[in-house]
A and B are shown apart, each in its own frame.
Chain A
Amino acid sequence: MRPSERCILVIGALACAIASTLLIARAAEIPLNERKSGYEFMGRDSRAMQDDDTANPGTFSVLDGEALWKRKVGTAGKSCADCHGEASESMKGVAARYPAFKVARGRPVNLDQQINICRAERQQATPLALEGKDLLALNAYVARQSRGMPINVTIDERTRPFFEQGRATFYRRQGQLNFACAQCHDDNWTEKLAGSPITQAHPTGYPLYRLEWQSVGSLQRRLRNCISGMRVDNYPLGANELIDLELFLMWRARGMPIETPAVRP
Protein backbone atom coordinates (compact mmCIF):
# COMPACT_ATOMS: atom_id res chain seq x y z
CA MET A 1 0.00 0.00 0.00
CA ARG A 2 1.34 3.38 -0.98
CA PRO A 3 1.60 6.00 1.76
CA SER A 4 -1.04 8.17 0.04
CA GLU A 5 -3.53 5.27 0.00
CA ARG A 6 -2.85 4.54 3.64
CA CYS A 7 -3.47 8.19 4.38
CA ILE A 8 -6.82 8.11 2.59
CA LEU A 9 -7.80 4.97 4.53
CA VAL A 10 -6.91 6.56 7.84
CA ILE A 11 -8.87 9.71 7.03
CA GLY A 12 -11.80 7.57 5.87
CA ALA A 13 -11.77 5.56 9.08
CA LEU A 14 -11.60 8.75 11.15
CA ALA A 15 -14.48 10.29 9.21
CA CYS A 16 -16.55 7.15 9.80
CA ALA A 17 -15.75 7.24 13.50
CA ILE A 18 -16.76 10.90 13.77
CA ALA A 19 -19.87 10.37 11.67
CA SER A 20 -20.99 7.39 13.74
CA THR A 21 -20.52 9.37 16.95
CA LEU A 22 -22.69 12.12 15.54
CA LEU A 23 -25.25 9.76 14.08
CA ILE A 24 -26.02 8.08 17.36
CA ALA A 25 -29.18 10.02 18.07
CA ARG A 26 -28.83 10.40 21.80
CA ALA A 27 -31.12 13.44 21.72
CA ALA A 28 -31.30 13.35 25.49
CA GLU A 29 -32.23 16.54 27.19
CA ILE A 30 -29.66 17.78 29.69
CA PRO A 31 -30.86 16.96 33.23
CA LEU A 32 -31.86 20.15 35.07
CA ASN A 33 -29.09 19.84 37.66
CA GLU A 34 -26.39 19.38 34.99
CA ARG A 35 -27.17 22.60 33.18
CA LYS A 36 -24.42 25.21 32.99
CA SER A 37 -24.39 28.78 31.83
CA GLY A 38 -21.88 29.74 29.13
CA TYR A 39 -20.15 31.59 31.97
CA GLU A 40 -18.93 28.30 33.43
CA PHE A 41 -17.24 27.38 30.17
CA MET A 42 -15.21 30.60 30.10
CA GLY A 43 -11.66 31.23 31.21
CA ARG A 44 -10.69 33.17 34.31
CA ASP A 45 -10.08 36.47 32.52
CA SER A 46 -13.40 36.50 30.67
CA ARG A 47 -15.21 35.69 33.92
CA ALA A 48 -13.42 38.55 35.68
CA MET A 49 -14.56 40.88 32.91
CA GLN A 50 -18.19 39.91 33.40
CA ASP A 51 -18.03 39.99 37.19
CA ASP A 52 -16.79 43.57 37.47
CA ASP A 53 -19.19 46.17 36.04
CA THR A 54 -16.32 48.61 35.56
CA ALA A 55 -14.43 46.05 33.45
CA ASN A 56 -17.48 44.83 31.52
CA PRO A 57 -17.91 46.73 28.22
CA GLY A 58 -21.59 45.70 28.29
CA THR A 59 -21.98 48.35 31.00
CA PHE A 60 -21.69 51.05 28.32
CA SER A 61 -24.77 49.66 26.63
CA VAL A 62 -26.66 49.57 29.94
CA LEU A 63 -25.72 53.21 30.63
CA ASP A 64 -26.80 54.24 27.12
CA GLY A 65 -30.07 52.40 27.74
CA GLU A 66 -30.61 54.28 30.98
CA ALA A 67 -30.27 57.59 29.12
CA LEU A 68 -32.72 56.42 26.42
CA TRP A 69 -35.18 55.25 29.09
CA LYS A 70 -35.47 58.84 30.32
CA ARG A 71 -35.53 60.56 26.93
CA LYS A 72 -38.86 61.88 25.62
CA VAL A 73 -39.46 60.73 22.03
CA GLY A 74 -42.17 60.51 19.38
CA THR A 75 -45.18 62.70 18.73
CA ALA A 76 -46.59 61.71 22.13
CA GLY A 77 -43.50 63.31 23.69
CA LYS A 78 -43.22 60.57 26.29
CA SER A 79 -40.25 58.72 27.71
CA CYS A 80 -40.29 55.09 28.86
CA ALA A 81 -40.00 56.45 32.41
CA ASP A 82 -43.18 58.55 32.02
CA CYS A 83 -45.25 55.34 31.93
CA HIS A 84 -43.01 52.83 33.71
CA GLY A 85 -41.29 55.01 36.31
CA GLU A 86 -38.11 53.67 37.86
CA ALA A 87 -36.87 50.73 35.80
CA SER A 88 -35.28 49.18 38.89
CA GLU A 89 -38.84 48.67 40.19
CA SER A 90 -41.05 48.29 37.13
CA MET A 91 -38.69 46.24 34.96
CA LYS A 92 -37.51 43.86 37.65
CA GLY A 93 -38.01 40.31 36.37
CA VAL A 94 -39.50 41.42 33.05
CA ALA A 95 -36.69 40.15 30.82
CA ALA A 96 -36.89 36.77 32.58
CA ARG A 97 -40.45 36.36 31.27
CA TYR A 98 -39.79 37.08 27.57
CA PRO A 99 -40.67 35.98 24.88
CA ALA A 100 -44.23 36.45 26.16
CA PHE A 101 -47.63 36.10 24.51
CA LYS A 102 -48.98 39.30 22.97
CA VAL A 103 -52.74 39.16 22.41
CA ALA A 104 -52.73 41.83 19.69
CA ARG A 105 -50.17 39.85 17.70
CA GLY A 106 -51.70 36.45 18.46
CA ARG A 107 -48.22 35.06 19.20
CA PRO A 108 -45.24 35.47 21.52
CA VAL A 109 -43.01 38.51 21.07
CA ASN A 110 -39.50 39.04 22.39
CA LEU A 111 -38.29 42.02 24.41
CA ASP A 112 -37.01 43.87 21.32
CA GLN A 113 -40.42 43.59 19.70
CA GLN A 114 -42.17 44.66 22.90
CA ILE A 115 -39.98 47.77 23.12
CA ASN A 116 -40.90 48.67 19.54
CA ILE A 117 -44.60 47.98 20.22
CA CYS A 118 -44.35 50.41 23.14
CA ARG A 119 -42.68 52.98 20.91
CA ALA A 120 -45.37 52.69 18.25
CA GLU A 121 -48.40 52.63 20.56
CA ARG A 122 -47.40 54.72 23.58
CA GLN A 123 -44.74 57.07 22.26
CA GLN A 124 -45.92 57.27 18.65
CA ALA A 125 -42.30 57.03 17.60
CA THR A 126 -40.63 55.15 14.79
CA PRO A 127 -39.44 51.63 15.61
CA LEU A 128 -35.78 51.19 16.53
CA ALA A 129 -33.73 49.10 14.11
CA LEU A 130 -33.27 45.47 15.13
CA GLU A 131 -29.66 44.91 16.26
CA GLY A 132 -29.15 48.69 16.26
CA LYS A 133 -27.22 50.32 19.09
CA ASP A 134 -30.28 52.01 20.65
CA LEU A 135 -32.52 48.95 20.76
CA LEU A 136 -29.71 46.82 22.18
CA ALA A 137 -29.05 49.50 24.79
CA LEU A 138 -32.69 49.74 25.90
CA ASN A 139 -32.97 45.97 25.98
CA ALA A 140 -29.73 45.68 27.98
CA TYR A 141 -30.95 48.30 30.47
CA VAL A 142 -34.31 46.56 30.92
CA ALA A 143 -32.73 43.10 31.16
CA ARG A 144 -30.11 44.37 33.63
CA GLN A 145 -32.95 44.96 36.11
CA SER A 146 -33.54 41.18 36.15
CA ARG A 147 -29.93 40.21 36.85
CA GLY A 148 -29.83 37.27 39.23
CA MET A 149 -33.51 36.46 38.77
CA PRO A 150 -34.56 33.04 37.47
CA ILE A 151 -35.68 32.68 33.86
CA ASN A 152 -39.40 32.05 33.92
CA VAL A 153 -41.21 32.03 30.55
CA THR A 154 -44.86 30.98 30.46
CA ILE A 155 -45.73 27.86 28.51
CA ASP A 156 -49.52 27.60 28.45
CA GLU A 157 -52.22 26.80 25.90
CA ARG A 158 -51.55 30.09 24.09
CA THR A 159 -47.77 29.82 23.81
CA ARG A 160 -47.48 26.04 23.51
CA PRO A 161 -47.90 25.82 19.70
CA PHE A 162 -45.04 28.34 19.25
CA PHE A 163 -42.96 26.62 21.91
CA GLU A 164 -43.40 23.32 20.07
CA GLN A 165 -42.30 25.02 16.82
CA GLY A 166 -39.18 26.26 18.60
CA ARG A 167 -38.49 22.83 20.03
CA ALA A 168 -38.92 21.29 16.56
CA THR A 169 -36.42 23.79 15.12
CA PHE A 170 -33.91 22.85 17.83
CA TYR A 171 -34.16 19.11 17.13
CA ARG A 172 -34.62 19.26 13.35
CA ARG A 173 -31.66 18.44 11.14
CA GLN A 174 -31.23 21.25 8.68
CA GLY A 175 -28.93 22.86 6.16
CA GLN A 176 -26.12 21.53 4.01
CA LEU A 177 -24.40 19.92 6.99
CA ASN A 178 -27.64 18.21 8.04
CA PHE A 179 -27.15 19.28 11.64
CA ALA A 180 -29.58 19.83 14.46
CA CYS A 181 -28.86 22.33 17.26
CA ALA A 182 -29.30 19.46 19.72
CA GLN A 183 -26.41 17.45 18.26
CA CYS A 184 -23.95 19.99 19.63
CA HIS A 185 -25.79 21.54 22.55
CA ASP A 186 -27.55 18.51 24.07
CA ASP A 187 -25.25 15.67 23.00
CA ASN A 188 -21.74 17.13 22.74
CA TRP A 189 -21.45 20.01 25.18
CA THR A 190 -18.59 18.24 26.91
CA GLU A 191 -16.57 18.43 23.69
CA LYS A 192 -14.80 21.18 21.78
CA LEU A 193 -15.32 22.62 18.33
CA ALA A 194 -12.25 24.15 16.70
CA GLY A 195 -10.61 24.42 20.11
CA SER A 196 -13.49 26.25 21.77
CA PRO A 197 -15.86 24.58 24.22
CA ILE A 198 -19.26 23.66 22.81
CA THR A 199 -21.65 25.12 25.37
CA GLN A 200 -25.14 24.11 26.36
CA ALA A 201 -26.69 27.15 24.62
CA HIS A 202 -28.58 28.69 27.50
CA PRO A 203 -29.52 32.30 26.69
CA THR A 204 -28.91 33.65 30.19
CA GLY A 205 -27.05 36.88 29.49
CA TYR A 206 -28.46 38.63 26.41
CA PRO A 207 -27.92 41.22 25.16
CA LEU A 208 -24.28 40.39 25.87
CA TYR A 209 -20.85 41.69 25.00
CA ARG A 210 -19.10 39.22 22.75
CA LEU A 211 -15.35 39.67 22.42
CA GLU A 212 -15.45 38.25 18.90
CA TRP A 213 -17.99 40.92 17.88
CA GLN A 214 -16.28 43.66 19.89
CA SER A 215 -19.78 44.86 20.62
CA VAL A 216 -23.04 44.04 22.32
CA GLY A 217 -25.41 41.79 20.39
CA SER A 218 -28.74 40.06 20.75
CA LEU A 219 -29.64 36.40 21.09
CA GLN A 220 -30.93 36.48 17.53
CA ARG A 221 -27.54 37.65 16.26
CA ARG A 222 -25.97 34.69 18.05
CA LEU A 223 -28.57 32.26 16.72
CA ARG A 224 -27.99 33.50 13.19
CA ASN A 225 -24.23 32.94 13.68
CA CYS A 226 -24.79 29.30 14.58
CA ILE A 227 -27.41 28.79 11.88
CA SER A 228 -25.15 30.14 9.14
CA GLY A 229 -22.40 27.85 10.49
CA MET A 230 -24.79 24.96 9.93
CA ARG A 231 -25.17 26.28 6.36
CA VAL A 232 -28.89 26.76 6.69
CA ASP A 233 -30.76 29.30 4.59
CA ASN A 234 -30.81 31.79 7.47
CA TYR A 235 -33.85 33.32 9.14
CA PRO A 236 -33.94 37.15 9.02
CA LEU A 237 -33.72 39.14 12.26
CA GLY A 238 -37.13 39.22 13.91
CA ALA A 239 -38.37 36.11 12.06
CA ASN A 240 -41.09 34.13 13.82
CA GLU A 241 -38.90 31.01 13.66
CA LEU A 242 -36.24 32.78 15.74
CA ILE A 243 -38.78 34.05 18.29
CA ASP A 244 -40.14 30.52 18.71
CA LEU A 245 -36.61 29.18 19.11
CA GLU A 246 -35.91 31.89 21.70
CA LEU A 247 -39.01 30.81 23.61
CA PHE A 248 -37.89 27.17 23.58
CA LEU A 249 -34.34 28.07 24.65
CA MET A 250 -35.58 30.24 27.52
CA TRP A 251 -37.81 27.37 28.69
CA ARG A 252 -34.82 25.03 28.40
CA ALA A 253 -32.89 27.46 30.67
CA ARG A 254 -35.83 27.88 33.08
CA GLY A 255 -34.75 28.70 36.60
CA MET A 256 -31.24 29.75 35.59
CA PRO A 257 -30.31 33.29 36.65
CA ILE A 258 -30.22 36.21 34.20
CA GLU A 259 -26.65 37.57 33.78
CA THR A 260 -27.25 40.58 31.51
CA PRO A 261 -24.99 42.14 30.38
CA ALA A 262 -22.93 38.96 30.14
CA VAL A 263 -19.50 38.70 28.51
CA ARG A 264 -18.72 35.83 26.17
CA PRO A 265 -15.66 35.08 24.05
Chain B
Amino acid sequence: MARALINVPAKAKKGEIITIKTLISHEMETGYRHDNVGKAIPRNIITQFVCTYNGLEVFRADLFPAIAANPFITFQTVATASGKIEFKWTGDNDFAQTESVNITVE
Protein backbone atom coordinates (compact mmCIF):
# COMPACT_ATOMS: atom_id res chain seq x y z
CA MET B 1 0.00 0.00 0.00
CA ALA B 2 1.18 3.46 -0.78
CA ARG B 3 1.99 5.85 2.01
CA ALA B 4 -0.38 8.79 2.44
CA LEU B 5 -0.12 11.84 4.67
CA ILE B 6 -3.27 13.70 5.69
CA ASN B 7 -3.35 17.04 7.45
CA VAL B 8 -6.77 18.00 8.83
CA PRO B 9 -7.34 20.01 12.03
CA ALA B 10 -8.52 17.69 14.82
CA LYS B 11 -10.99 20.31 16.07
CA ALA B 12 -12.92 23.10 14.39
CA LYS B 13 -15.81 25.46 15.13
CA LYS B 14 -19.09 24.87 13.34
CA GLY B 15 -19.14 26.86 10.11
CA GLU B 16 -15.38 27.39 10.11
CA ILE B 17 -13.50 27.00 6.81
CA ILE B 18 -10.88 24.30 7.27
CA THR B 19 -7.91 23.48 5.04
CA ILE B 20 -7.30 19.85 4.16
CA LYS B 21 -3.93 18.74 2.81
CA THR B 22 -3.23 15.33 1.33
CA LEU B 23 -0.03 13.84 -0.01
CA ILE B 24 0.24 10.33 -1.43
CA SER B 25 3.30 8.44 -2.58
CA HIS B 26 2.86 7.44 -6.21
CA GLU B 27 5.29 7.41 -9.11
CA MET B 28 2.76 8.90 -11.60
CA GLU B 29 4.48 7.26 -14.57
CA THR B 30 3.23 9.21 -17.59
CA GLY B 31 3.21 6.45 -20.19
CA TYR B 32 5.19 8.70 -22.53
CA ARG B 33 8.64 7.56 -21.46
CA HIS B 34 10.89 4.77 -22.71
CA ASP B 35 13.41 2.69 -20.78
CA ASN B 36 17.12 2.31 -21.57
CA VAL B 37 16.42 -0.22 -24.34
CA GLY B 38 13.69 1.82 -25.97
CA LYS B 39 10.72 -0.09 -24.59
CA ALA B 40 7.70 2.03 -23.71
CA ILE B 41 7.07 2.29 -19.96
CA PRO B 42 3.32 1.75 -19.48
CA ARG B 43 1.25 4.50 -17.92
CA ASN B 44 0.71 4.14 -14.19
CA ILE B 45 -1.05 7.12 -12.64
CA ILE B 46 -3.69 7.96 -10.09
CA THR B 47 -6.74 8.99 -12.10
CA GLN B 48 -9.14 10.17 -9.44
CA PHE B 49 -9.25 11.54 -5.93
CA VAL B 50 -12.47 11.88 -3.93
CA CYS B 51 -13.04 13.31 -0.47
CA THR B 52 -16.24 12.62 1.46
CA TYR B 53 -17.32 14.24 4.71
CA ASN B 54 -19.69 12.05 6.70
CA GLY B 55 -20.55 10.31 3.45
CA LEU B 56 -21.17 13.50 1.48
CA GLU B 57 -18.78 14.23 -1.38
CA VAL B 58 -17.09 17.59 -0.80
CA PHE B 59 -14.19 17.46 -3.26
CA ARG B 60 -13.25 15.49 -6.36
CA ALA B 61 -10.32 15.75 -8.74
CA ASP B 62 -9.35 13.99 -11.94
CA LEU B 63 -5.62 13.48 -12.39
CA PHE B 64 -3.70 13.29 -15.66
CA PRO B 65 -0.22 12.26 -16.84
CA ALA B 66 1.18 15.80 -16.51
CA ILE B 67 0.72 15.71 -12.74
CA ALA B 68 3.98 15.17 -10.88
CA ALA B 69 4.91 12.18 -8.75
CA ASN B 70 3.54 12.08 -5.20
CA PRO B 71 0.44 14.21 -5.84
CA PHE B 72 -0.22 16.87 -3.22
CA ILE B 73 -3.84 17.99 -3.15
CA THR B 74 -5.06 20.73 -0.85
CA PHE B 75 -8.52 22.26 -0.62
CA GLN B 76 -10.96 23.86 1.79
CA THR B 77 -14.32 22.82 3.11
CA VAL B 78 -16.73 24.01 5.79
CA ALA B 79 -16.72 22.20 9.13
CA THR B 80 -20.37 21.17 9.42
CA ALA B 81 -20.45 18.39 12.00
CA SER B 82 -18.23 16.02 13.95
CA GLY B 83 -17.46 12.82 12.13
CA LYS B 84 -15.31 11.16 9.57
CA ILE B 85 -13.55 12.62 6.55
CA GLU B 86 -12.62 9.95 4.01
CA PHE B 87 -10.15 10.12 1.14
CA LYS B 88 -10.03 7.75 -1.79
CA TRP B 89 -7.46 7.62 -4.56
CA THR B 90 -8.01 5.32 -7.54
CA GLY B 91 -5.88 4.77 -10.62
CA ASP B 92 -4.24 2.50 -13.18
CA ASN B 93 -3.48 -1.14 -12.37
CA ASP B 94 -6.45 -1.25 -9.98
CA PHE B 95 -4.79 1.22 -7.66
CA ALA B 96 -7.14 2.00 -4.79
CA GLN B 97 -6.36 3.49 -1.44
CA THR B 98 -8.58 4.83 1.30
CA GLU B 99 -7.64 6.87 4.34
CA SER B 100 -9.82 8.55 6.92
CA VAL B 101 -9.52 11.00 9.78
CA ASN B 102 -11.91 12.08 12.50
CA ILE B 103 -12.84 15.67 13.15
CA THR B 104 -14.56 17.17 16.19
CA VAL B 105 -16.78 20.16 15.43
CA GLU B 106 -17.96 22.26 18.36
Residues of A at the B interface (CB closer than 8 Å) are: 49, 52-57, 59-60, 63-64, 211, 214-215
Given contacts A54-B5, A211-B68, 6 further A-B contacts (CB under 8 A): A55-B72, A55-B74, A57-B72, A60-B3, A60-B70, A64-B3
Q: Does B23 contact A (CB under 8 A)?
A: yes
B100 to chain A, nearest CB (A): 15
Interface residues of B in 3-20 (CB under 8 A from A): 3, 5-7
B10 to chain A, nearest CB (A): 13
Q: Does B25 contact A (CB under 8 A)?
A: yes
Q: Does B21 contact A (CB under 8 A)?
A: yes
B21, B27, B68, B72 — most chain A CB neighbours (10 Å): B72
Which chain A residue lies CB-closest to B6?
A54
A interface majority secondary structure? loop
Sample (19) of A-B pairs whose CB atoms are under 8 Å apart = A49-B72, A52-B7, A54-B5, A54-B21, A54-B23, A55-B23, A55-B74, A56-B23, A57-B25, A57-B69, A57-B70, A59-B5, A60-B5, A60-B25, A60-B70, A211-B68, A214-B27, A214-B69, A215-B69
| B74: A residues at CB distance < 8 A | 55
| B21: A residues at CB distance < 8 A | 52, 54-55
* B23 lies within 8 A of A214 (CB): no
Residues of B at the A interface (CB closer than 8 Å) are: 3, 5-7, 21, 23, 25, 27-28, 68-70, 72, 74
* A55 lies within 8 A of B7 (CB): yes
Q: State in angstroms the CA–CA spacing of A215 and B28 once bound together.
A: 11
Q: State in angstroms the CA–CA spacing of A204 and B39 once bound together.
A: 38
Q: State in angstroms the CA–CA spacing of A54 and B8 once bound together.
A: 10
Q: State in angstroms the CA–CA spacing of A19 and B7 once bound together.
A: 50
A68 to chain B, nearest CB (A): 13
| B69: A residues at CB distance < 8 A | 57, 214-215
Counting from the closest, the 6 A-B pairs by CB-CB distance are A214-B69, A54-B7, A57-B70, A54-B5, A60-B25, A60-B3
